[in-house]
């Protein structure tokens, strides 16, 4: 294949203008030749014989007249066994190996193989000579950690093929020719365990896209009960700096009931990324008892790296997620934070001299964000199995302003909004998700009528609390004050969790349902409390009992004893259920 070439005619930061000799495609990869270095770049705009390219390296030293070599290939990732446990940069270079080769400071123009070439994989064939196959059909499997990794027909193969040669079961490296298939014209196509796929093209080798209906259990009560996320759904976590976005993502990645977690640190501060890299290999996976890294991939592109690589890291991560979805697995992808990616788009748009939109972000910001989140979803594969990609992105609005363009563009496309509050984080309330501002379009593990009742209590309690700031406690009726105490009770015993407590840090569905039903009885009851001091003392004591109850092992003797004491306190002052609560209890 003839490859085009070009000459640099302009440099503007990490954007380089190239005069092209030949033809090039949008998103094609090219290399700027600088001394003995070759700097990887991507074509982002074509005008006649001139192309603009974003460079994934620092462009110091690049000048007019430097030669450019185009590859004829789109920006792509390598797919195959060996992805799990890896820590990559945005271009899928393994960072630990890169550090070994380059030392403390990473060098420009060094690109390594994404997958280990020397490792042997125990291959088991699933098809035989003479079988007909199409794109994404399984040729065989290899064990990868706790999963059976499917070796598939490359996704770009159109039409039907016939297996001409099939390797027998054995131990091979990923470059070994495991099969040869023949197309309809009789051409032979050799296959190995790996292949490449363009990161900006969604993988769509499935039979049907399904509606996300099954909840993704995070074991965070506030999320699972009030603002649930569906497997294959989308959600966002906007919040100001220091409100706990990264911590919440890490807790979710550890306890969520998914098969694989992919973290894309697309421009976060290096300190937070280093913390993730240090902690994840040491964390124990509650599901397997092994290291959490065995089912995790980390894409690391800190805010100190070139801005163009932020975009590459986002698309690399979602492509890897779609790849494992093709194996019938449930994948959780966590980009942190998409605001840094949007800022990189704004910087590049300015250098392209495009007409700016709101706050100088590109006019196409909404469509790009929507296109990214649309790559989530639940799919039925050709063999009938179900796989999903769930995307939960954090957003870092300046000053915690949720009205800014990136947050608003994200809210238009996601299915759940977990807005973090500066007020709650400053009060050390974890998670700091605001229970009144947040929302979800998905169904959770608790009856929606009951959760709506609890939210009404929270709303009314907040109104009373605001009123008390003006008129004081003495200017509030006893009925309103009890509503305020109930709202406060919900917040402390259910919305907040102690992430340092081995029991309360992660709460399963069965326990959540059981505890919420007890909570519902408490907030839905009338009480024989005529004095505010008496009411405050009663609910404070009940709250402490409930916190001890939350820290007790599920169905242990202590759990039963704590519940018994709570019910005794409850029965002493309860005078009956409120009408709305009574109706919901009868329905349940």
Residue numbers belonging to the annotated binding site for ATP: 239-246
Element (H, E) at 503: none
Distance of CA 225 to CAs 211, 471, 504, 520, Å? 20, 34, 15, 12
Going by their DSSP bridges, the two strands 87-88 and 296-301 should be labelled as parallel
Residue 180 token pair: 């040869």
* Cis ω for the linkage preceding 287 (within 30 of 0): no
Rounded to whole angstroms, the Cα distance separating 178 from 118 reads 16
Residue with tokens 């402490």: 544
Q: What is the DSSP string of 74-96?
A: ESEEEESTT-TT-EE-TT--BHH
**3-state secondary structure (DSSP) of residue 10:** strand
From the annotation, which residues make up the binding site?
A: 239-246
Q: Residue 509's Cα: distance from chain center in Å?
A: 21
Going by their DSSP bridges, the two strands 330-335 and 260-266 should be labelled as parallel
Q: Cβ neighbours of residue 433 under 8 Å, at least 6 residues apart?
A: 222, 223, 227, 237, 248, 418, 419, 420, 421, 424, 495
Q: Cβ neighbours of residue 439 under 8 Å, at least 6 residues apart?
A: 227, 416, 417
Residue 135 token pair: 């794109």
Q: Cβ neighbours of residue 337 under 8 Å, at least 6 residues apart?
A: 245, 266, 267, 268, 393, 394, 395, 396
Rounded to whole angstroms, the Cα distance separating 391 from 416 reads 11
Residue 134 token pair: 């199409």
**3-state secondary structure (DSSP) of residue 103:** coil
Q: Is 21 in contact with 4 (CB distance < 8 Å)?
A: yes
3-state secondary structure 544-563: HHHHHHHCCCCCCHHHHHHH
Note the maximum CA span of the chain.
Answer: 90
Residue 196 token pair: 């490449």
Q: What is the DSSP string of 172-206?
A: E-TTS--EEEE-TT--EEEE-S-EEEETTS----S
* DSSP conformation class of 234: E
Question: Which residues pair with residue 420 across a beta bridge?
Answer: 433
Rounded to whole angstroms, the Cα distance separating 588 from 584 reads 6
Going by their DSSP bridges, the two strands 296-301 and 260-266 should be labelled as parallel
Percentages helix, strand, coil for the chain (3-state, rounded to 5) are 35, 25, 40
* Cis ω for the linkage preceding 431 (within 30 of 0): yes
Q: Is 249 in contact with 261 (CB distance < 8 Å)?
A: no
Rounded to whole angstroms, the Cα distance separating 505 from 286 reads 12
């Amino acid at each position: 294949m003839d490859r085009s070439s070009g000459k640099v005619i302009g440099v503007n930061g990490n954007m380089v203008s190239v005069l092209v000799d030949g033809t090039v495609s949008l998103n094609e990869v090219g290399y700027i030749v600088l001394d003995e270095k070759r700097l990887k770049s991507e074509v982002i705009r074509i005008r006649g014989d001139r192309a603009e390219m974003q460079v994934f390296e620092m462009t110091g030293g690049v000048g007019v007249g430097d030669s450019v070599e185009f590859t004829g290939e789109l920006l792509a990732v390598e797919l195959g066994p060996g992805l799990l446990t890896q820590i990559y940069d945005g271009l899928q270079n393994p960072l630990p190996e890169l550090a070994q080769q380059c030392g403390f400071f990473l060098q420009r123009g060094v690109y390594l193989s994404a997958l280990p070439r020397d490792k042997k994989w125990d291959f088991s064939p699933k098809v035989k000579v003479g079988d007909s196959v199409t794109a994404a059909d399984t040729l065989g499997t290899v064990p990868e950690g706790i999963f059976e990794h499917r070796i598939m027909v490359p996704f770009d193969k159109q039409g039907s093929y016939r297996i001409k040669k099939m390797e027998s079961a054995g131990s091979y490296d990923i470059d070994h020719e495991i099969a040869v298939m023949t197309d309809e014209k009789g051409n032979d196509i050799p296959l190995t365990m790996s292949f490449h796929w363009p990161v900006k093209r969604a993988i769509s080798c499935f039979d049907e896209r399904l509606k996300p209906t099954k909840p993704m259990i995070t074991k965070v009560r506030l999320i699972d009960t009030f603002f649930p996320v569906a497997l294959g759904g989308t959600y966002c976590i906007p919040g100001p700096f220091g409100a706990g976005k990264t911590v919440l993502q890490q807790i979710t990645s550890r306890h969520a009931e998914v098969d694989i977690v992919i973290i894309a640190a697309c421009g976060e501060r290096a300190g937070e990324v280093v913390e993730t890299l240090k902690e994840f290999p040491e964390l124990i996976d509650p599901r397997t008892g092994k290291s959490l890294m065995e089912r995790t991939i980390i894409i690391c592109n800190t805010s100190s790296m070139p801005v163009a690589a932020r975009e590459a890291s986002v698309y690399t991560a979602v492509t890897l997620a779609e790849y494992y979805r093709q194996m019938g697995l449930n994948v959780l992808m966590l980009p942190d934070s998409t605001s840094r990616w949007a800022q990189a788009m704004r910087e590049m748009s300015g250098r392209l001299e495009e007409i700016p939109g709101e706050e100088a972000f590109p006019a196409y910001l909404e469509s790009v964000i929507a296109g990214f989140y649309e790559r989530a979803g639940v799919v039925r594969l050709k063999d009938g199995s179900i796989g999903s990609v769930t995307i939960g992105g954090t957003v870092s609005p300046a000053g915690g302003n949720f009205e800014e363009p990136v947050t608003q563009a994200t809210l238009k496309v996601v299915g759940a909004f977990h807005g973090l509050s500066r007020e709650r984080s400053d009060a050390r309330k974890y998670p700091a998700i605001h229970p009144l501002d947040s929302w979800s379009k998905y169904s959770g593990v608790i009856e929606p009528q009951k959760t709506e009742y609890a939210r009404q209590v929270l709303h009314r309690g907040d109104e009373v609390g605001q009123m008390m700031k003006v008129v004081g406690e003495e200017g509030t009726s006893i009925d309103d004050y009890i509503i305020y105490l109930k709202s406060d009770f919900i917040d402390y015993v259910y919305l907040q969790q102690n992430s340092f407590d081995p029991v309360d840090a992660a709460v399963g569905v069965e326990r959540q349902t059981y505890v919420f039903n007890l909570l519902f009885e408490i907030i839905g009851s009338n009480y024989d409390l005529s004095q505010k001091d008496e009411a405050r003392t009663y609910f404070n004591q009940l709250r402490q009992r409930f916190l001890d109850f939350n820290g007790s092992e599920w169905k242990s003797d202590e759990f039963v004893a704590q519940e018994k004491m709570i019910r005794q306190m409850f029965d002493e002052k309860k005078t009956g259920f409120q009408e709305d609560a009574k109706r919901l209890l009868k329905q349940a």
